[in-house]
Amino acid sequence: MATVSDFDIAVIGGGPGGYSTAIRAAQLGFSTVLVESAELGGVCLNWGCIPTKALLHCAELIADIGSASQFGIEASVDSIDLEAMVRHSRQTAGKLSKGVEFLLRKNKVTHLSGHGSIPEKGKLAVTTSTGEQQEYRVPHIIVATGARLKQLPSLPSDDSRIWDARAAMTATTRPDHLVVIGAGAIGVEFASFYSDIGAQVTLVEAADRVVPTEDPEISERMAKALAKRGIDCRTRTRFASMDAMPDSLTVNVTKSDGSDGAIACDRLLVAVGVDGNIEGMGLEALGLDTDKGSIVTGAYGETNVAGVYAIGDVAGAPWLAHKAVHEGIACIEHIAGMDIKPAGERLIPGCIYARPQIASIGLSEPAAKAAGKKIKVGRFDLTANGKALAAGHSDGLIKTIVDQQTGELLGAHMIGHGVSEQIQGFALAMGAEITTEEFAETVFPHPTISEAMHEAVLDAEGIAVNH
């Protein structure tokens, strides 16, 4: 294996975190190489964030047509072409992946297609699909290899009726009854989509509530919304085993009280979390510290091995593309000697794109109390918002968590139509550390759903006008 050239920076992994890091490195004047073994854009762009949102938009159109009669419009969905929906989803991902390739060329980042590894400190090895191997001298190597969905080891790996997320977003035939194991973001989004296109859906969740990482009040609202749509949510219930027959599947479950149950279905989707992609890169031989499938990092992505860094999903939760981007840019700017805030000190919003959507940032009510904060809680229900009522989207809630002593906004939690597009207002306010008094003095346009954000902050202070 010959050493062929030098680079200042190498990035292994071409997802949002990886390609953003590589581009920023090139902007800062570093000679940069990015190694990706699959499609540019990573799982997020090709098999996660983007294609699922394309499918969910199709489902939203179905729901809108179904509710058109309340606005005096008689319309119906005569047929659903799942294959065409999937084609739209794949084409959307494909366009964006080509866009990443263009951005790398524009910024003079060298893109190598192959498997990257680190045989020793300061060296990058790349194995192409043809088996050709090359080594490069690189003082700074950033691992951005992302994560993959966990699988249940007791399930057969060769049964096409057992889906992971990739199979669920490329299916061309709608299941009659889909069972989803895991009611986190991925599970709830797919449950929402398949319910909207006419499948019977059962959600199985081991925790005591759906979307268990969200504020409990938001989880409760989501559970009610899903149940209203006919989605069967079984919490405090664990997957036990599966019986496969030629024409059907039986999912056996165990409830928290020890009782057993069985659910007949024709497709099973496993959505129980992720593991970092840490294998096959020589990290063990390097002595790199890992913990529960993730690389252990410092404030700027640095590892215990000098010159090796990790950012994004491979460095642990939260597994969000925008978090990966900020971690990567903070990492490379730190390498460049810039004085910047670590990504871990930044507020990171999270969104779930089901129907209804969820968006949140900062501390939940239980987390704030556990941290010893004295808090005030504000709430504003969208049933009191004129724009939401006019649009037929009044099922929702905005909740705020405020520090009782300082007036600082500690957290914001939203459920309702389109809230993923509104959470950034809270992100900006919290990032700027404005107080509830300053928030109250901010003028929100009328009529907008964003007014509910204003009212939720006012309610925490007991001065909401429309509550």
Token output for 299: 């404030």
- How high is the pLDDT of residue 4? 54
- How high is the pLDDT of residue 344? 82
284 with 295: CB under 8 angstroms? no
Query: Nearest-CA neighbor of 221 among 349, 347, 318, 354?
Result: 354
Domain formed by 162-272, architecture: 3-Layer(bba) Sandwich (3.50)
Domain 9-148+275-345 class in CATH: alpha beta
Q: Quick one: how far is CA 360 from the chain centroid?
A: 12
- How high is the pLDDT of residue 466? 85
Above 90 in pLDDT, residue 46?
A: yes
**Domain span(s) for CATH 3.50.50.60 in the chain:** 9-148+275-345, 162-272
Query: At residue 363, what is the residue type?
Result: L
Binding-site positions for FAD read 53, 116, 313
Residue 57 annotated in active site = no
Q: Which residue in 140, 177, 446, 467 is the catalytic one?
A: 446
At residue 103 the predicted structure's pLDDT band, cuts being 50, 70 and 90, is very high
The least confident of 150-154, 223-227, 366-370 is 150-154
68-87: pLDDT as tens digits: 999 999 999 999 999 999 99
* Average of per-residue pLDDT across 335-356: 93
Q: What is the CA radius of gyration of the chain?
A: 24
The mean pLDDT of the chain is 95
- How high is the pLDDT of residue 5? 67
193-204: pLDDT as tens digits: 999 999 999 999
Half-sphere exposure (Cβ direction) of 445: Cα atoms closer than 13 Å = 2
447 with 424: CB under 8 angstroms? no
At residue 268 the predicted structure's pLDDT band, cuts being 50, 70 and 90, is very high
101 with 110: CB under 8 angstroms? no
**Domain span(s) for CATH 3.30.390.30 in the chain:** 356-461
Binding-site positions for NAD(+) read 182-189, 205, 273
Query: At residue 94, what is the residue type?
Result: G
At residue 370 the predicted structure's pLDDT band, cuts being 50, 70 and 90, is very high
The CA distance from 299 to 306, in Å, is 14
Above 90 in pLDDT, residue 173?
A: yes
Helical pair 185-196 and 49-66, crossing angle rounded to 10 deg: 40
408-443: pLDDT as tens digits: 999 999 999 999 999 999 999 999 999 999 999 999
- How high is the pLDDT of residue 185? 96
- How high is the pLDDT of residue 343? 86
Token output for 94: 């494909």
Above 50 in pLDDT, residue 30?
A: yes
Q: Length of the chain, please?
A: 467
The CA distance from 465 to 195, in Å, is 38
Q: Write down the pTM of the prediction.
A: 0.95
Binding-site positions read 53, 116, 182-189, 205, 273, 313
379-393: pLDDT as tens digits: 999 999 999 999 999
H-only helix segments in 81-235: 82-106, 165-168, 185-196, 216-228
- SS3 track for 322-335: HHHHHHHHHHHHHH
Task: Select 356-461's CATH number: 3.30.390.30, 3.40.50.80, 3.30.565.10, 3.40.190.10.
Answer: 3.30.390.30
- How high is the pLDDT of residue 1? 47
